[in-house]
C-alpha cells in the first residue's frame, strides 16, 4: 500500500504539501517532524481507480471496502540484519513513520517523527536512516522511491542546526533541494517541477520561549513560533533559503 501511494504521488499533479516542524525544549531536547499531506489524492479519480484495482487483486478480506488506515512503523523494524550498528539502533529507537489514510474523509498523511536528546543528533539520525535500504531482489527496491530507504532522504546526514544558548541557528546547507533530487532523480526533476508546481513547503519552529527576532527569509513570528513558507519550484531549483537564526527568551 505504501508503494502504491508513492507511485500515485509521482503522477497526480499538485497532490503533495510538506510541513516541516522543529519542536525545541528548554534542555535542548526536542523533535523534528516532516508531514507529507497528500489528501488531494484521495479525491482524485486516478487514485480511486488504483485503490479499486489493489482491492480487486488482494486476497479476499485483506482490504476493506473503504480504506481507513492508521499505521505506525518503527525504522528499526524496517532495517535488514547488519544494516544498523548498535549506535544507529539507539538513535533510531523512537524514530517512527506514521501513515494515516481515510477514504471517507479524503485524508492522507505520512509523518516521520525524529525525537532527539540534543539537536546535533539529527545529522546522526539522518545518516542512520539512510542505511536502511532494500536488499537486491527485494520487491521494495523496484518501488518509485526505492523502498523505505528513500524515506531516509527526508532527513539530512549534514548538520542543519546549532543551538547556542537561546539562539537556534539553521546552517546554510542545500538539504531540501538535495532531498528532492534524491527522491526524484536528476532525470525526473523537470517532470517533478511540472507535477508539483503548485505544491508547498512550510517550516514551523516551536521555541521554548517567546521569539525576540528571526533572521530567516520570509519568517513570520507569532509568540513562540516562527513560520517560513516556500513554493516547491523554488526548492527544486535551489532558490529557497532556509538558513538564518532565531533568538528567543
- On whether the CB atoms of residues 33 and 105 are closer than 8 A, the answer is no
Query: Average pLDDT of the chain?
Result: 78
pLDDT in tens, the chain (249 residues): 455 555 555 444 556 788 999 999 999 999 999 998 888 777 766 666 666 666 566 665 555 556 788 889 999 988 888 999 999 999 999 999 998 888 788 888 989 999 999 999 999 999 998 888 765 555 444 443 344 444 444 567 788 899 999 999 998 865 555 666 666 566 666 666 666 667 788 999 999 999 999 999 999 999 999 999 988 777 777 778 889 999 999
Closest by CA position to 36, among listed 168, 150, 185: 150
Domain ranges of the chain: 2-248
How many beta carbons lie within 10 A of that of residue 116, not counting itself?
Answer: 23
Instruction: State the Cα–Cα distance between residues 150 and 54, nearest whole angstrom.
Output: 23
Identify the CA nearest to 166 among candidates 214, 199, 123, 134. 214
Grid cell digits, residue 166: 537561546
Q: Are 32 and 155 in contact (CB under 8 A)?
A: yes
The three cell numbers locating residue 224: 513562540
Threshold 0.75, pTM exceeds: yes
Q: Are strands 200-206 and 17-24 parallel, antiparallel or unpaired?
A: parallel
Cell for 208?
521554548
What one-character-per-residue DSSP string does 218-245 give? T-EEETTEEEEEEEHHHHHTT-----EE
Amino acid at each position: 500500500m505504501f508503494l502504491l501511494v508513492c507511485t500515485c504521488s509521482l503522477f497526480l499533479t499538485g497532490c503533495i504539501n510538506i510541513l516541516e516542524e522543529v519542536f525545541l525544549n528548554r534542555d535542548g531536547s526536542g523533535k523534528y517532524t516532516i508531514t507529507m499531506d497528500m489528501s488531494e489524492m484521495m479525491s482524485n479519480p486516478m487514485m480511486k481507480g488504483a485503490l479499486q484495482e489493489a482491492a480487486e487483486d488482494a486476497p479476499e478480506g485483506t482490504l476493506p471496502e473503504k480504506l481507513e488506515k492508521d499505521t505506525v512503523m518503527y525504522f528499526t523494524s524496517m532495517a535488514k540484519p547488519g544494516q544498523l550498528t548498535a549506535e544507529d539502533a539507539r538513535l533510531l529507537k523512537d524514530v517512527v513513520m506514521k501513515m494515516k489514510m481515510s477514504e471517507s474523509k479524503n485524508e492522507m498523511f505520512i509523518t516521520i517523527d525524529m525525537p532527539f536528546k540534543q539537536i546535533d543528533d539529527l545529522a546522526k539520525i539522518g545518516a542512520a536512516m539512510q542505511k536502511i535500504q532494500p536488499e537486491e531482489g527485494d520487491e521494495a527496491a523496484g518501488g518509485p522511491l526505492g523502498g523505505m530507504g528513500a524515506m531516509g532522504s527526508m532527513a539530512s546526514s549534514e548538520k542543519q542546526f546549532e543551538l547556542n544558548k537561546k539562539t537556534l541557528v539553521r546552517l546554510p546547507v542545500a538539504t531540501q533541494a538535495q532531498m528532492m533530487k534524491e527522491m526524484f532523480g536528476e532525470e525526473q526533476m523537470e517532470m517533478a517541477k511540472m507535477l508539483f508546481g503548485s505544491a508547498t513547503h512550510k517550516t514551523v519552529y516551536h521555541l521554548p520561549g517567546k521569539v525576540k527576532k528571526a533572521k530567516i527569509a520570509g519568517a513570520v513570528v507569532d509568540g513562540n513560533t516562527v513560520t517560513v513558507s516556500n513554493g516547491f519550484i523554488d526548492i527544486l531549483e535551489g532558490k529557497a533559503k532556509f538558513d538564518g537564526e532565531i533568538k528567543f527568551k
